[in-house]
Structure 1
Amino acid sequence: MIDLIEKLPKAELHLHIEGSLEPELMFKLAKKNNIEIPYKTIDDVKKAYEFSNLQSFLDIYYAGANVLISKEDFYDLTWEYILKCVDNNIIHTEIFFDPQTHTSRGVSFETVISGIKEALEDANKKFGITSQIIMCFLRHLSQEDALKTLDEALNFKDDIIGVGLDSSELGNPPSKFEKVFKKAQENGFKLVAHAGEEADVLYIYEALDLLHIQRIDHGVQSIKSDELMQRLKDEQIPLTVCPNSNIELKVFENYKEHNIKKLLDFGLNVTVNSDDPAYFKGYLNQNFINLYENLELSKEDIVKLVKNSFNSSFIEDELKQKYIKEVKLYEG
């Protein structure tokens, strides 16, 4: 089954590009850009990757992002992830980036997006990997700040397929960003949002009913509401679940407690993703392998999860069907 996992062509829909910053590249960029980081060795960095909750991770995540300064840095960051896509047989990826993390440090929006975009274009030319870019608003900041960021993004509308909402969930409900999501929708952006990772089902309802999102990022708390579970099943709203992340951030104590198999068996449109793989001990294949080894996923389960990712992506139907046909070759 592990051989099947490794060979299956896959899509990834929940990947923070800043969260793919491996310690080796962090040190390299820190030295190049003369940036102080609070670690002396790569081992020191890896030891710091022991988290108690979402916020304990975010503190290190934002500190690591400080080494990203130039367009070349964002290109290198994205290219390193692309090489992981090749290793994991990811043939389509929809990556998140957090512009406010960088513009607040004086790095221009154009610097960030151009570096990411060029790497993704090269990935398509060299490996045939297709991709989309989704810009996320930081929910611990104000809606006013998000609106300014959206205005900047309009200059790069052709490069950004959608907007999302990430960062500290608790205390920052989706309703806080109703106005900016309405404006984003009016400007033709696809809409996604992190909801129901740590916070309760109310956040998922708000994301659906107030922000009108098309995909829920995480959403694992939905199992606590029978009504919500039925709605998600009926409407087949995608959930971009990130198993390693959920374990590392103590959403679940261990893999055997993870509820993705229950969500899948109920008929929800769940997908598997790696979230911030440099911090959470593994890229996409490792997430699948961990699920298989702990939750007794069948071959049919694994193929269904992979198909769900392609079906839930923001690519045109013709390409979507082409990718699904490639997956079906492994169904026999």
Structure 2
Amino acid sequence: MQQFISQVPKCELHLHIEGTLEPELKFALAARNNVELPYTDVDEMRAGYRFHDLPSFLACYYEGMSVLLTEADFYDLAWAYLTKAQEQNVRYAEIFFDPQAHTSRGVPFGTVIRGLRRALIDARRLLDVRAQLIMCFLRDFTAEYAMATLMESLPYQEWIIGVGLDSDERGNPPEKFAKVFARARAEGYQLTMHCDLDQENSVDHIRQCLDVIGVDRIDHGVNSLESEELQKEIKARGLGLTVCPISNSYVRGSAWQDAVRQMLDRGLRVTISSDDPAYMNGYVTENLLAVQAVTPLTPAEVLQLQRNAFEIAWLPDAAKDGYLAELDRYAGAN
């Protein structure tokens, strides 16, 4: 099963590019940009990644972005992830980026997206890995700042497939950004939102995603298991849920372990992704192996997780069909 999981064609839909900034690259970018880091070496930096909930994680996460200043930095960041994705047989990825985390410290929007975009183009040509960008708003900033960021994105709209919402959920419900997401929908963007694990009012926030925002899918969304009504509605709408098991384990300990099993058994379109792998010590293959280690999956279930991901991906039908055919060939050969 380890070999089967490692080699299966994969689709990753919940991956923060800033969360792939490995310590080695962070030190290299710091040296290039003359940024002083509060660590003497890679080991000390890794040891400093200590968090037990979303706010404590975010403190580490945003501190690390100080080294990202130039278009070349964002290119190198994305290229490092895409190279890793190829090694793990990720055939397609939808990548979150947080422009406000950079514009708020003086880095222009265009600098961020041009660097990321060049890496995506090169990965398609040189690595045969296809990827698209999802622009996330930071929910602990104002809705007005989110709207301004949405407007700033429009000249680059062809490079962005959708918009999302992430960062600290406490006191920042989906409905806070209803007008922003309505405008994003009108501009032609796909919509998703984080409903992080075990946050205050988690179930109500998922309901708001459905009834107020009208999302096209839900990121995390594990707390939907607490409501039969929500599960029925999610299934009726055909929505996918992008679950990140290793990430969730930092919030709930070992109790997340049967969430993927429950979602599969209940017919939800659950998918597996890696969230912030440089901080969570696990890319998408490791996340699949983590699930396998505690709630053993059959080959058919591993394939179903990948089929779910390709089916809910924001791709033309012809591209989806090509990846699904690749998955079927892999199943037939194994």
TM range (shorter): over 0.9
| Partners of 2:239 and 2:303 in 1: CA distance | 18
- Which residue does the alignment assign to 1:115? 115
Match of 1:228, as an amino acid?
L
Q: Secondary structure at the match of 1:178?
A: helix
- Which residue does the alignment assign to 1:131? 131
Q: Does 1:233 align with 2:235?
A: yes
- Asked whether the 8 Å contact 1:240–1:270 carries over to 2, the reply is yes
| Partners of 1:75 and 1:331 in 2: CA distance | 35
Q: Secondary structure at the match of 2:101?
A: helix
| Partners of 1:127 and 1:196 in 2: CA distance | 32
Q: Does 1:278 align with 2:278?
A: yes
45-54 vs 165-174, which moves further: 45-54
Deviation at 1:255, TM superposition (A): 6.4
Q: Secondary structure at the match of 2:194?
A: strand
- Asked whether the 8 Å contact 2:247–2:275 carries over to 1, the reply is yes
Q: Secondary structure at the match of 1:259?
A: helix
- Asked whether the 8 Å contact 1:170–1:198 carries over to 2, the reply is no
- Provide the TM-score with structure 2 as the length reference: 0.97
- Which residue does the alignment assign to 2:246? 244
195-204 vs 222-231, which moves further: 195-204
Matches within 5 A, 1:1-332: 1-199=1-199, 200-248=202-250, 250=251, 252-254=252-254, 257-332=257-332
Superposed CA RMSD in Å reads 1.1
Q: Secondary structure at the match of 2:115?
A: helix
More helix by proportion, 1 or 2?
A: 2
158-167 vs 257-266, which moves further: 257-266
- Provide the TM-score with structure 1 as the length reference: 0.97
Match of 1:125, as an amino acid?
R
| Partners of 1:52 and 1:9 in 2: CA distance | 32
Q: Residues 258 and 49 from structure 1, CA distance in 2 versus in 1: closer, same or farther, beyond 3 angstroms?
A: farther
Q: Secondary structure at the match of 1:118?
A: helix
Q: Deviations over 1:159-215 (max 9, x none)?
A: 111100000012110010001001101100010100142322100011111111101
Identical amino acids, percent of aligned pairs: 45
Match of 1:159, as an amino acid?
W
Match of 1:129, as an amino acid?
V
Q: Secondary structure at the match of 2:140?
A: coil
Match of 2:118, as an amino acid?
E
Deviation at 1:232, TM superposition (A): 1.6
Deviation at 1:281, TM superposition (A): 0.9
- Asked whether the 8 Å contact 1:255–1:291 carries over to 2, the reply is no
Deviation at 1:257, TM superposition (A): 3.5
Match of 1:124, as an amino acid?
R
Deviation at 1:258, TM superposition (A): 3.9
| Partners of 1:230 and 1:192 in 2: CA distance | 19
| Partners of 2:146 and 2:156 in 1: CA distance | 16
| Partners of 1:35 and 1:240 in 2: CA distance | 35
Aligned residues: 330
Deviation at 1:233, TM superposition (A): 2.1
Structure 1 residue runs without a partner (length 5+): none
